[in-house]
Amino acid sequence: MNFEMNAIWNIKAWRVIALIILWACDTVEVEPPEILDAEDKLVMNAIFSPASDTITVEISMSEKIFGIIPEPSSNIVSDAVVTISDGSLTRTLSFDDVQKVYILPATQFSLEKEVTYRLELTANNKTVYAETSLPYKVNRLESVELNDSNALQISWQDLPNEKNYYRVYAESLYNRREGTDGEVYYSRYKFFDNDFITDAHKDGQLLSVTSDALDEFQNRFDSVSIEVYSVDELYWDYFRVLDLDTEEDPFSEPVQLPSNVVGGIGIFSIFQVSKFKMKWP
């Protein structure tokens, strides 16, 4: 909640009236109509990057909202046939009993730019699939500097004429100390929040992220490690929806989770990550 809503909620009369209205509300369980008794669907979740060691896919079945369902649910599907293909090469993933996911070592299937990949699964007499390709990768940072407010600012060039979505992670280690066990320990300073940056209204321009002012810390760092993630629009949309956390806000619009799984639910997305280690500016 922001400032204004806190203030609204602090007014007791508002709460009293709201409580009286809620108190006046009479609730009763009703029989859900047939339209809400939708069929179960296969759920395929697969997110990895060319830098990942493995291609990992989780397969599960959706569950009904209404009626009686055993708990804890055991909806992971372990007997599916899962394949990944680039149009010419097709590989089958195998189920890992420990992690409860389907796995293919990255060495057996390379991920390249401008190739469309298809992930397909067959289970319970149903076949579903999804397709995706690699997003733009940031290979170079334009600048890493301290601005006038003594905040760390990292800039890079956006690729024009397409929607791009980024995340920047940056950390510096400081306070080096040796433990009694002989190990070397550091404190870790993380510069940015876990937010997405889009090129909306800034297509093709120089994009940047800026940290909070570093008054207390700036002299403690020797270097900064930076990771720039690029994701596709579906990835951005998918986690934006999950981040909205609308259950706490009774006045928010309902949300629908996007999916690119044809015949099922879920997400198949490949992201790019570029890692840089820079001398502290």
Partner 1 sequence: MSFYDVRKLRIVCSSVFIFVCIMEITPLAGQQANYTISGYVKEASSNELLAGATIYIPSLSTGVITNNYGFYSITLVPGAYELVFTFTGFEGIRVSVDLNEDMVLNQYLKPSTITLDEVVVSGELHEKVSENTQMSFLKLATKTVEYVPAFMGEKDVLKVLQLMPGVQSGSEGSSGLYVRGGGPDQNLLILDDAILYNANHLFGFFSVFNGDALKSTELYKGGFPARFGGRLSSVIKMDMKDGNKEEVHGKIGVGMISASGLLEGPIKKGKTSYIISGRRTYIDVLIAPFNSSSPGTDGYYFYDLNAKVNHEVDLKNKLFVSGYFGLDRFYSKGSDYNASLNWGNASSTVRWNHQLSNKMFTNTSLIFSRYLFRIREGDDDFELKYTSSIRDFGAKYDVDFFPSINHTIKLGVSTTSHQFIPSALVVEEEDDIEPIDDEERFNTLESAVYIEDDMRIFNRVHANIGIRLSHFIHKDKTYFKPEPRVSLAYLFPRDVSVKASYAAMNQYIHLLSNSGIGLPTDLWVSSTNRVKPQSSHQVALGVAKDLNRGISVTLEGYLKESENVIYYKDGASFLLLDELESSISLSWEDNITTGLSESYGIECFLQKKVGDFNGWVGYTWSKTELQFDEINFGEKFLARYDRRHDISLIGIYTASERVTLSGTWVYGTGNNFTLPVRTHRTASDVASGYNNPSYARFDDVEKRNNFRAEAYHRLDLSIQMTKPKEKGKRTWELSLYNAYNRRNPFYYYTTSEIQNNTRKGKLIKSSLFPILPSFKYIYEF
Q: Is 253 in the site for partner 1 (CB under 8 A)?
A: yes
In this structure, are strands 117-123 and 81-85 parallel, antiparallel, or unpaired?
A: antiparallel
User: For partner 1, what does the binding mask look like between residues 13 and 52, x meaning CB under 8 A?
Assistant: xx-xx-xxx--xxxxxxxxxx-xxxx-xx-x-xxxxx---
Q: Is 129 in the site for partner 1 (CB under 8 A)?
A: no
CB of 217 to partner 1, least distance (A): 19
Q: Is 69 in the site for partner 1 (CB under 8 A)?
A: yes
CA 53 to each of CA 37, 115, 149, 166, 232: distance values in angstroms, whole numbers, following the listed order: 40, 19, 40, 22, 20
Q: How far apart are CA 39 and CA 181, in angstroms?
A: 57
Q: How far apart are CA 167 and CA 156, in angstroms?
A: 12
Please, which residues have CB within 8 angstroms of residue 159's CB and are 6 or more apart in sequence? 136, 204
Q: Which of 165, 139, 137 is nearest to 231 (CA)?
A: 165
> Please, which residue, 184 or 200, has the CB nearer to partner 1?
200
> Please, which residue, 214 or 231, has the CB nearer to partner 1?
231
CB of 31 to partner 1, least distance (A): 7
CB of 88 to partner 1, least distance (A): 27
Interface of this chain with partner 1, residues 213 to 232, rule: CB under 8 A = 227, 229, 231
Q: Is 75 in the site for partner 1 (CB under 8 A)?
A: yes
Query: Alpha carbon 20 to chain centroid distance?
Result: 40
> Please, which residue, 21 or 184, has the CB nearer to partner 1?
21
